Amino acid sequence: MDTSLHAPDAAELPIVYIDGEDLRRFLASGVTEQTGYSYSWEGEGVTHLHLHPLRHAFGSTGSVLFCRQAPAEVVADYAVEVAADGTARLLIAADDSWHEHPAMLIPAQSELFSRSKGILEVGALAGKRVMIVGLGSFGSQIAIELAKAGVGSFALMDFDRVELHNLMRHTCVANELGRLKTDAIADAILGKNPYAEVDRYPVNINRHPDLMLSEVERADIVICATDNNESRFNLSRTLVEAGKPGIFGRAVTRAEGGDVFIYRPGEACYSCLIGTGMFRQGEEEITDEASARRDGRIASYMSAADADAVVQVGLSADIEPICNMMVKLTLVELSRGLDTGIASLEDELVYNYYIWANRRERRHANWSAMPNAGAKPTIMRWYGAHIATDPSCTICGMGSLDLGAVDEDMALLQEIQALNASTLDDNTDDSTEQ
């Protein structure tokens, strides 16, 4: 590749980038000419040249001719002359003639993660596949962080579209309103790593168990970033069945804190966690009335006003630490056994359940203030715990059903039956069971 294509002086506009990988593809194709696409950030004097159309929403598009030798006649907005040795010369059309102009290269795959070398085994991560279920405020950030770390293959699952109420905590921006989250996040991943493989599934995973199983089997690790328990339980069962690790994360009410659970095959599963005193399902943060109504977290008989009071969204800054923890656990699992700069974390992140508090409220009200907290729990620190396998777990254990409170229910039933027997019909004229 011609490294003599140097950065232009700041005063020399436009700034033009040529896709370095496309130069290689053009040479390899053996053709002498191929029309490509130019994308300009309108009014900013910045243009990118590609052989193939991009999905990104640039301000304006034009044409570029990739060729061995530019024709005398101006037939496109730009021409890129590619020599046999891979060097390239940029020509810009102006006044019905070509004018040579300096250009820079969009880096090739091998150069993309040069800053991460020594910390992460980028080459190894490029071969890893992560399945992300749920692309809301958690899943979107995690996806992009993993792309930045060099993960090379993704399966994205979410049937929702980008909506206004998502924006403030989501990676998507206002001009992406209405897009499928799978498409928007795929573009964000490809924006960080154009060489990533991204499969999009805009479906409700709970209604596609076969797809879920096949994708879990393909993945090296699964991120469960949904806000409903049905998909968590479904994924938990599929992870156990497929013997794949998975990470579950959530924020609790108004993101006053959160927790992260990691399933490692052979250890406690997500269903083992439920029912331990440490995990409280009812404290889940509700960020979206429609989805909470859909999965029953807001009862269908609740009025709009009451539901509005239940929807309590926390700050983006409060969910970031939880996302970061999920990303780090993912990277540690993907890098396990490799000689990387994060190998030491394998000895640190040994727990399977982690708790974090952003504020000393509600569940965390009795935690100590940060000054002088000493060994007592306080805010903005991770606390790890070992959740043991529950031998009676119906998912990963021997499997026995929960009959725990049947006695209480039976006692209540007998009480009601006795009350029923002793209660006279107060108005026999309109008993209306039909």
Structure-token pair, residue 252: 């609790």
Please name the amino acid found at residue 272: C
Give the one residue of 127, 296, 341, 384 binding another protein; rule: CB under 8 A: 296
Supply φ then ψ for residue 263, to 5 degrees.
Answer: -95, 120
CB 427, min distance to another protein, A: 7
Contact status: 290 vs another protein (CB under 8 A): no
Q: Is 305 in the site for another protein (CB under 8 A)?
A: no
Using the rule CB under 8 A, which residue among 301, 309, 337, 374 binds another protein?
301
| Residue 291 binds another protein, judged by CB under 8 A | no
Closest C-alpha to 126, from 153, 106, 145, 144: 153
Q: In the structure encoding, which two tokens stand for residue 2, read together?
A: 């011609």
Pairwise CA distance, residues 354 & 310, whole Å: 25
Q: Annotate 180-231 with DSSP letters as a single string.
A: BHHHHHHHHHHHH-TT-EEEEE-S-GGG-HHHHHHHHHH-SEEEE--S-HHH
Any contact of residue 412 with another protein (CB under 8 A)?
yes
Residue 395 binds to another protein (criterion: CB under 8 A) = yes
CB of 398 to another protein, least distance (A): 10
Of positions 297, 328, 360, 364, contacts another protein by CB under 8 A: 297
Count of residues for the chain?
Answer: 434
Among the listed residues 175, 366, 372, 434, the single contact to another protein using CB under 8 A: 434
390 φψ region: left (φ > 0), alpha (ψ -120 to 50), beta (else): beta
Closer to another protein at the Cβ: 243 or 399? 399
- Tell me which residue of 156, 290, 161, 281 sits closest to 230, measured CA to CA: 281
Does the protein bind another protein through residue 416 (CB under 8 A)? yes
Is residue 277 within the footprint of another protein (CB under 8 A)? no
Which of 229, 316 has the CB closer to another protein?
229
Scan for tokens 């232009």, then name that residue: 8
Q: Which is nearer to another protein, 82 or 298 (CB)?
A: 298
- Structure-derived torsion over alpha carbons of residues 296, 297, 299, 303, reported in degrees to the nearest 10: -130
Using CB under 8 A, count the residues that bind another protein: 51
Nearest to 121 by CA among 358, 333, 309: 333
Binding mask 164-203 for another protein (x = CB under 8 A): ----------------------------------------
Residue 48 carries which side chain, given as an amino acid letter?
Answer: H
* Shortest Å distance, C-beta 286 to another protein: 10
Q: Does 411 bind another protein (CB under 8 A)?
A: no
* Contact (Cβ atoms closer than 8 angstroms) between residue 55 and residue 48: no
Distance separating alpha carbons of residues 349 and 325, to the nearest angstrom: 10
CB of 414 closer than 8 Å to CB of 355: no
Greatest Cα pair distance in the chain: 103
Q: Which of 59, 178, 209, 391 binds another protein (CB under 8 A)?
A: 209
Nearer to another protein, 15 or 240 (CB): 240
Q: Which is nearer to another protein, 3 or 420 (CB)?
A: 420
Q: Which residues contact 268 (CB under 8 A, 6 or more apart)?
A: 352, 387, 388, 389, 390, 393, 396
Q: Which stretch binds another protein (CB under 8 A): 145-153, 154-162, 268-276, 340-348?
A: 268-276
| Cα separation, 347 vs 94, whole angstroms | 61
Which stretch, 5-13, 96-104, 177-185, 418-426, contacts another protein (CB under 8 A)?
418-426
Kindly state whether residue 420 participates in binding another protein, applying the rule CB under 8 A. yes
- Interface residue with another protein, options 271, 330, 340, 378 (CB under 8 A): 271
CA–CA–CA angle 419, 421, 426 (5° rounding): 85
Min dist CB 352 to another protein, Å, is 18
Q: How far is the CB of 199 from another protein (least distance, A)?
A: 24
Q: Which is nearer to another protein, 168 or 413 (CB)?
A: 413
Provide CB contacts within 8 A for 427, sequence distance 6+.
Answer: none
| Site string (221-260) toward another protein, x via CB under 8 A | -------xxx--xx--x-----------------------
To another protein, the closest distance from the beta carbon of 397 in angstroms equals 10
Find the binder of another protein among 199, 220, 284, 361 (CB under 8 A). 284
Contact residues for another protein (CB under 8 A)?
206, 209, 228-230, 233-234, 237, 271, 274-275, 281-282, 284, 295-297, 299-302, 392-395, 399-403, 405-406, 409-410, 412-413, 416-417, 419-421, 423-427, 430-434
